[in-house]
Chains A and B, each alone.
Chain A
Amino acid sequence: MMIVRMLRWLFGYIRFTLEGTFPERFLNLASRRGIPLWGLTHEDNTLSAMARQHHRAALQSIAEKTNITVGGIEYHGLPYCLKRYRHRVGLLIGLVVFGLGCHYLSGIVWSIDIRTPSLLNEYEVREMLREHGLTEGTPAKQVDAAGIINQISVSDRRVSWMTVNIMDTHADINISPNLASVVQRPETLPLSNMKSIADGTVTKVEVYKGAANVRVGDGIRKNQLLVSGLVEYTNGQIVLTDCEARVFARTHRSVDLHLPKRYTLPRIQETVTKQTMTLFGLSLPLTIQGNPSGTYAQQTTRQQVTLLGHPLPIYVTEENWRHYENVPVELTLPQAQELLQQKLSLYEFFMLAGTQQGTVLNRQCTITEESDGFVLHADYELEEDVCQKTVIPLEETAEEPASPLPAV
């Protein structure tokens, strides 16, 4: 039915009304002459119908014969549309340009979807693809997928294998990492001991390789041997090994953080926003702003424009330039407390990052005001892994020249 409607529209049709005493005769005669009619409706003693436009003359003659008045003729379809817009050349040119544009744009790569492991970031892969001729705006027929795969796999050792799939206007890149390029195994395993990095009391001992020299409840000092790499078995065999162990101990730490009374705080003086639109690799500035001078902090966000969930090759980049200026201020005690707490949070973050799975059991902080500034004193009670691996220098001792024997 859809095709029939489309054909009727393509060839053009007329809609007309019939007024008279016996319109059924008109219909019968039209049927006898092989003129197809459709959409016959009867409303308010008026019959309306539709017919092909080239049957119009024949219908007029039937109407005269049957004493029926054919009126209200409306013309529909493509021939009448073309006739109506025949003087509008711009419309025709626009249609042609639109068709050519659709044809051209359907043949180029609009978006590149990169699935890469953490070993290679997306920016690196995008740059590599750009060097090998695949970027947004590249004609899809010119993309040599096999060549790109070969060249990148050979030039970058981190790539184990990769796929480049061009699907219409979308490029799908999938990369698998070469883990062998990252993991560097030593040729010979070092022989090592485990020593303590702090004073404290042992709370937990986990020895995987080596011989433990401490037990739970023992007090330990800094640089004390906790786990030995020299293991003596019950059969008398002695083996040197690379220790693997974790010894947790309750330790104490204290820190003093100073803050002068006259302090300089960074304050935002000016914010400049620049917007750039990138279309098929061509950057177009949306705002008329130059790069500001002085001390600025820049924050850039890049967003891909999507249409109904489909990514378009249009990126909008927004750069926020914030001009900071250091302003000297006289700190009050509440301000100093706030700043010192921030510093203490940073200290704890890095201290705990430096320790191995450490947890803060107890913390006591005191802030005192002195003549030149404020001091925060913090005492920590921690439970942390106090093991530190120290390599046993066997080769150096072996190469040492033998001491001469004392003369007898």
Chain B
Amino acid sequence: MTYQAKGLQAWFFQRVSGVFIALYILYFLWVFFTTELFTYQLWLTWFSHPLMNAATGLFFIQLVVHAWVGMRDVVLDYMPNNTIRFFSLIVISFILIASSLEILRILFSLSLNA
């Protein structure tokens, strides 16, 4: 039995990434609101920590996966024309890949500061 097609995997990844994103945001908000004075230096130290840096990288990768599945669903549901569907998916994937590469570049530069 092959499950290489995109239905089940997309559905599964969306749920797994949703859980990770929710946990990350809860942790982020907890630290943000329980820290008295959030200076730039503190912020830099926090995100330069290898664990936080890796978790943030993972968070954005999961966010891109989650957004891709969600946006693909919107396109497949609301755009009946195949040509428009195709170009919409190309544009969305380009934006998501470009944003994630930029975020990963920033995180990598932070990790060099550590």
Interaction A to B: no
Chain A interface residues toward B at CB < 8 A: none
